[in-house]
């Protein structure tokens, strides 16, 4: 593929000292709440391998995804740009081909780039800068699909017809079609093959799990690991959200009955945790393979997710909201130059991963070509904050701004607003939108949010 000349000239400046660069491994889960890691405060779930990354690396406790659906969130990771800039604000968007991608940028800096797992953007990985794939999982196997149900007996509605394949579109139905109980193991197997075959050239290995996205299938040996009756309900559990947030008719919300019940929610959490623990087990296998190869101490490992999930919080089952349990994501980094066991409260976004990896790898970043900001100044102790605020958006129905202490949400179609003082109300249970004492904060956040979205060319919010 012929590269746009403007991008090619920039790349020429970064292809130096490739052999000295650290390896990079980016692990991304699917629909994982930020409060589902044992070492970060969840006493119920078992995640020993993610706990290891927390202990041996650094955690950003206030990372966000910006747009809480798979396709746009993953486009932001790949391009380091907002959905408005990269062209993907919903399903079906096409990434602007003039933009650099993380894979192309690192490839031009001397990395061997490989993609493993779920692909949920336009094109295929090799058209977005990856040298090759292994264990690629995407659509194309509908003819092999048979009627299936999830752990609760519900007809599967997600990933129907998705299938393992290679770069020549050869299909492998023997590994299962759609989500299967052991799918995380297949992704780990593919990643381990890449690690074992890696030569002296530094590698960038991007692994995208489907766990713990529905349909939830109980993995082998984890079928009874979590008992529903032992699962604590979320502190902000509700039988029903107080108003239609713009996705009441969405597939995710229809997975639960209305009103939500404690019994159904506990059952779902038990299955959700089982799928996460099984994925954690596979992440352990991947890390072990790097360790056995002798490359662990020269490998940067980043773990995150594309967004969180409701699972009963605020009366929501799905991921399409601006609440912390959904807009928030886990973000853990381990490797050379990264402090051990530190936790940072700096606000950040998934699109910050791209420039951060460039700094950690000693690769000049794409500068003004992306919107993300490197988190290296936070990791190195130079500053405490990179962003004065972060924003979130979902279709035409939700817009959000979050500062260190406050969050303001607008629902343009529902004509509702919410204001939460996160410092004293981290579970977002008290809406202060009508409190007289909070009106100055409300006005300031409204102004900042409207200005930011106008700068993106977003016309959803009404003029002030």
DSSP 146-178: ---B-TTSPBP-SSTT-EEE-TT--B-GGG-BS
Tell whether 58 is covered by a domain.
yes
* Residue ending a domain, choose from 338, 367, 388: 388
Strand partners, 138: 163
- Angle at 329 (CA atoms; ends 111, 356), nearest 5 degrees: 35
Residues 382, 403 within the same domain:
no
- CB neighbour burial string for 147-185, b if at least 16 within 10 angstroms, e if fewer: ebebbeeeebebbbebbbbeeeeeebeebbbbbbbbbbb
Residues 434, 317 within the same domain:
no
> Domain total for the chain?
2
Residues 400, 375 within the same domain:
no
CB under 8 Å to 278, separation ≥6 — which residues?
184, 185, 211, 219, 220, 221, 222
* Residue ending a domain, choose from 336, 356, 388: 388
SS3 at position 372: coil
What share of residues in the chain are helix, strand, coil (percent, to 5)?
30, 15, 50
pLDDT at 463: 63
* Inter-residue contact 104 to 15 (CB < 8 Å): no
Residues 384, 441 within the same domain:
no
Residues 325, 410 within the same domain:
no
Residues 384, 442 within the same domain:
no
This prediction has a pTM of: 0.95
pLDDT at 289: 98
Could you tell me the residue range of the domain that residue 447 belongs to? 392-455
Torsion sign, CA atoms 336, 341, 345, 348 = positive
Tell whether 362 is covered by a domain.
yes
DSSP 116-146: EEE--SSS-GGGTT-SEEEEEEES--GGG--
Tell whether 346 is covered by a domain.
yes
Tell whether 463 is covered by a domain.
no
Tell whether 53 is covered by a domain.
yes
Specify the CATH number for the domain of residue 271. 3.40.720.10
Specify the CATH number for the domain of residue 439. 3.30.1120.10
Q: Which two tokens stand for residue 265?
A: 């929610």
Compute the distance between CA of residue 376 and CA of residue 387 in angstroms, rounded to an integer: 13
Cα separations in angstroms, 314 against 52, 230, 244, 274: 31, 20, 12, 22
Q: Give me the tens of pLDDT residue by residue for the chain, a chain 464 residues long.
A: 333 333 333 333 333 367 689 999 999 999 999 999 999 999 999 999 999 999 999 999 999 999 999 999 999 999 999 999 999 999 989 999 999 999 999 999 999 999 999 999 999 999 999 999 999 999 999 999 999 999 999 999 889 999 999 999 999 999 999 999 999 999 999 999 999 999 999 999 999 999 999 999 999 999 999 999 999 999 999 999 999 999 999 999 999 999 999 999 999 999 999 999 999 999 999 999 999 999 999 999 999 999 999 999 999 999 999 999 999 999 999 999 999 999 999 999 999 999 999 999 999 999 889 999 999 999 999 999 999 999 999 999 999 999 999 999 999 999 999 999 999 999 999 999 999 999 999 999 999 999 999 999 998 986 64
* Inter-residue contact 183 to 215 (CB < 8 Å): no
CB under 8 Å to 337, separation ≥6 — which residues?
360, 379, 380
SS3 at position 418: strand
Residues 215, 344 within the same domain:
yes
Tell whether 268 is covered by a domain.
yes
Closest CA to 308 of 184, 212, 188: 212
Closest CA to 212 of 307, 325, 315, 73: 307
Residues 206, 266 within the same domain:
yes
Tell whether 462 is covered by a domain.
no
pLDDT at 109: 96
* Residue ending a domain, choose from 360, 388, 416: 388
Tell whether 464 is covered by a domain.
no
pLDDT at 367: 83
Residues 257, 138 within the same domain:
yes
Sole residue written with tokens 């993380």: 102
Compute the distance between CA of residue 127 and CA of residue 104 in angstroms, rounded to an integer: 10
DSSP 231-274: PPPPTTB-SS-SS--S-TTSTTGGGS-SS--HHHHHHHHHHHHH
Residues 149, 177 within the same domain:
yes
pLDDT at 462: 67
**Residue 254: CA count within 13 A, CB half-sphere:** 9
pLDDT at 461: 87
Residues 336, 399 within the same domain:
no
Residues 408, 297 within the same domain:
no
């Amino acid at each position: 593929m012929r590269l746009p000349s403007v991008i090619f000239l920039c790349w020429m400046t970064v292809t130096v000292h490739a052999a000295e660069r650290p390896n990079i491994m980016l692990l991304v889960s699917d629909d994982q709440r930020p409060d589902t890691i044992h070492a970060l405060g969840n006493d119920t779930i078992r995640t020993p391998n993610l706990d290891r990354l927390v202990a041996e690396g650094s955690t950003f406790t206030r990372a966000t995804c910006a747009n809480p659906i798979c396709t746009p969130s993953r486009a932001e990771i790949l391009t380091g740009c907002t959905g408005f800039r990269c062209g993907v604000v919903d399903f079906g968007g096409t990434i602007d081909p003039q933009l650099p991608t993380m894979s192309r940028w690192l490839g031009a800096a001397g990395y061997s780039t490989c993609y493993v797992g779920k692909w949920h953007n336009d094109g295929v990985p090799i058209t977005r800068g990856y040298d090759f794939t292994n264990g690629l999982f995407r659509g194309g196997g509908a003819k092999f699909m048979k009627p299936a149900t999830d752990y609760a007996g519900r007809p599967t509605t997600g990933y129907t017809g998705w299938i393992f394949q290679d770069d020549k579109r050869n299909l492998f139905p023997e590994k299962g079609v759609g989500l299967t109980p052991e799918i995380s193991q297949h992704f780990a197997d593919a990643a381990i093959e890449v690690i074992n075959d890696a030569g002296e050239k530094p590698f960038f290995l991007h692994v995208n799990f489907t766990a713990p996205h529905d349909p939830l299938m109980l993995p082998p040996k984890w079928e009874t690991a979590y008992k529903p009756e032992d699962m604590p309900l979320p502190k902000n559990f509700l039988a029903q959200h107080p108003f239609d947030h713009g996705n009441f008719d969405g597939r995710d919300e229809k997975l639960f009955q209305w009103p939500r019940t404690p019994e159904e929610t506990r059952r779902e959490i038990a299955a959700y945790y089982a799928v996460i623990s099984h994925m954690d087990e596979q992440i352990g296998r991947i890390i072990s393979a790097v360790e056995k190869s002798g490359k662990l101490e020269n490998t940067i490992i980043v773990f995150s997710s594309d967004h969180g999930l409701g699972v009963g919080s605020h009366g929501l089952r799905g991921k399409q909201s601006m609440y912390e349990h959904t807009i928030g994501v886990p973000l853990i980094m381990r490797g050379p130059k990264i402090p051990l066991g530190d936790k940072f409260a700096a606000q950040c976004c998934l699109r910050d991963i791209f420039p951060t990896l460039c700094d950690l790898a000693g690769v000049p970043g794409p500068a003004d070509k992306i919107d993300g900001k490197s988190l290296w100044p936070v990791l190195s102790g130079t500053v405490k904050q990179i962003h004065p605020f972060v924003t979130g958006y979902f279709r035409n129905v939700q817009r959000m701004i979050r500062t260190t202490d406050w969050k303001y949400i607008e629902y343009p179609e529902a004509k509702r607003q919410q204001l939460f003082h996160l410092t004293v109300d981290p579970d977002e249970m008290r809406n202060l939108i009508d409190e007289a004492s909070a009106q100055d904060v409300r006005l300031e956040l409204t102004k900042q949010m409207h200005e930011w979205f106008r700068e993106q060319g977003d016309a959803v919010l009404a003029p002030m």
